[in-house]
Structure 1
Amino acid sequence: MAQYDTIRTTAGARTGEIDAGLRAHMNKVYGTMSVGMLITALAAWAISGLAVTTDPSAAAAQLPNGTMLSGLGATLYLSPLKWVVMLAPLAFIFLGWGALLRRAPAAGVQLGFFGFAALIGLSLSSIFLVFTSFSIAQTFVVTAIAFAGLSLWGYTTKKDISGWGSFLIMGVIGLIVAMIVNIFLQSPAMMFAISAIGVLIFAGLTAFYTQEIKNTYVAHAAQGDQEWLDKAAYDGALNLYISFLNMFQFLLMFMGQQE
């Protein structure tokens, strides 16, 4: 009996240790993601400010809504460089992130994530020239509330939603293809459909990634590889960051008021 009590006590202590570690791990994921969002917001705001001018004699170009662009703004938004700005984040995700996870130390992965967040800020800076600041803030708040609810559900649900992953990733690939096609078609109806489907896909991915982060930690916590767990936290933060950011952008298509 004493032996059984010892085993039960040890198992309970181990479970409590994993639970405490999981909470710390999730806090690290959400904290890293939040810092990334702050970097993105500051970078987008700063670059958008440098991209415009109020001096007509210094304007290099003008947008249809009357906004006068500085030389930097014309280069970023109207020259062929705009394709580099748009596609660089995708290139980082598909070509750079996996290599960074495999070869770099945890501190290097964290730095790579923050660099990616700044790059996203560059690519998103144009929204401050198109949409009002109030509608951007309003959409951000709505996205944050939706994200929090979806992530909480993904963390607490007893339902196994791991099967959603492949289906949702296929949906993301389809969205990317449709968006590239619509760059040339410029169809408002197609853009509306893309936005609606995009919100649903990234809502599902928010819950899916949250559960995956939790399950991954529980499966590997006993191994005690802190370096690997730190990298896993940054990878999870990136996945949730991307889900949040895409929900925000697609919701902005519905809720955003143009300048």
Structure 2
Amino acid sequence: MANWSDPRTASSAPYATRAGTRDAAYDAGLRSYMLSVYNYMASGVLLTGIVALLFASSGMAQAVLGTPLRWVIALAPLGFVMVMSFGMNRLSTGALQALFWAFATVMGLSMSSIFFVYTGASIAITFFATTVAFLSLSLYGYTTKRNLSGLGTFLIMGLVGLIVASLANLWFQSPVMSLVISAIGVLLFAGLTAYDTQRIKSMYDWVAGTDMMGKVVIMGALSLYLDFVNMFQFLLSFMGSRE
């Protein structure tokens, strides 16, 4: 038999190697990107928990309950979210980082009141349950081949309705309505966890290697942080044991 090589075979091996290298580099970059998002999110949750516990145990949280400062603390997180969301393109990555840590801190101040309402054991159990649910749902959002964009539209519409119902219940003070709102809130933010994870993952293709990636990492962490904290709060009001 003639000793020669098929040129198609000879040329396909280097191509396959390059393609495999490119795929491996892409996967490594995506993992690093998502890991950064999760690290920021987890660090923010940890900072919020520490601040909430220290603020409650110091007695300062009780001292501001009957003062106008209570409303400043309660509304400050919303202000930070709006500044970060609308100012993302104008702010530097460093400024967004500083705002994210400041947001996590004021969220801790705002959430310190849960230690006066619920038992420590129920807070710990609910936090553990939320963590398990969040990890499972986020893993689903990361790995599923199903496009969740349609689900996201439905969930956002449901979230608007939930906010309206919550504001209405401030007037009616209905325990049954509160229970229903909490149950729906858990389901909505469970769905948003999967949706946001897929959305954040898909954005990597657009920002990889650009100056925007650092900003997108922080904003992605903010989205997942809000999903986790809201799911925790609704689940706590749904199943937490009161003092």
Please confirm whether the aligned pair reaches a TM-score higher than 0.5, indicating the same fold.
yes
User: What is the CA-CA distance between 1:3 and the residue it aligns to?
Assistant: 4.0
Spell out, residue by residue over 1:139-164, the C-alpha distance to the aligned partner (whole angstroms, 9 max, x if none): 00000000010001111111111122
Spell out, residue by residue over 1:190-227, the C-alpha distance to the aligned partner (whole angstroms, 9 max, x if none): 11111010000000000001111111113442xx21x3
2:176 matched to which residue of 1?
189
Q: Write the letter of the residue equivalent to 2:72.
A: V
Is 2:212 the counterpart of 1:228? Answer: yes
User: What is the CA-CA distance between 1:89 and the residue it aligns to?
Assistant: 1.6
Q: Write the letter of the residue equivalent to 1:88.
A: A
Q: Which runs of 5+ in 2 are unaligned?
A: 1-7
Q: Taking structure 1 as the reference length, what is the TM-score of the superposition? A: 0.86
User: What is the CA-CA distance between 1:118 and the residue it aligns to?
Assistant: 0.6
User: What is the CA-CA distance between 1:84 and the residue it aligns to?
Assistant: 2.5
1:244 matched to which residue of 2?
228
Indicate if the aligned counterparts of 1:18 and 1:218 stay in contact, CA closer than 8 A. Answer: no
**Within 1, Cα distance between the matches of 2:13 and 2:219?**
39
- Aligned-residue identity in percent: 49
Larger radius of gyration: 2
2:132 matched to which residue of 1?
145
2:77 matched to which residue of 1?
89
1:102 matched to which residue of 2?
89
Q: Write the letter of the residue equivalent to 2:92.
A: P
Indicate if the aligned counterparts of 1:154 and 1:210 stay in contact, CA closer than 8 A. Answer: yes
Q: Write the letter of the residue equivalent to 1:33.
A: M
Out of 112, 115, 118, the position equivalent to 1:128 is 115
Indicate if the aligned counterparts of 1:209 and 1:240 stay in contact, CA closer than 8 A. Answer: yes
Spell out, residue by residue over 1:109-157, the C-alpha distance to the aligned partner (whole angstroms, 9 max, x if none): 1121111011111110000011111110010000000001000111111
Q: Taking structure 2 as the reference length, what is the TM-score of the superposition? A: 0.91
Aligned residues: 235
Is 2:110 the counterpart of 1:155? Answer: no
Greater than 4 Å deviation, 4+ residue runs: none
1:59 matched to which residue of 2?
none
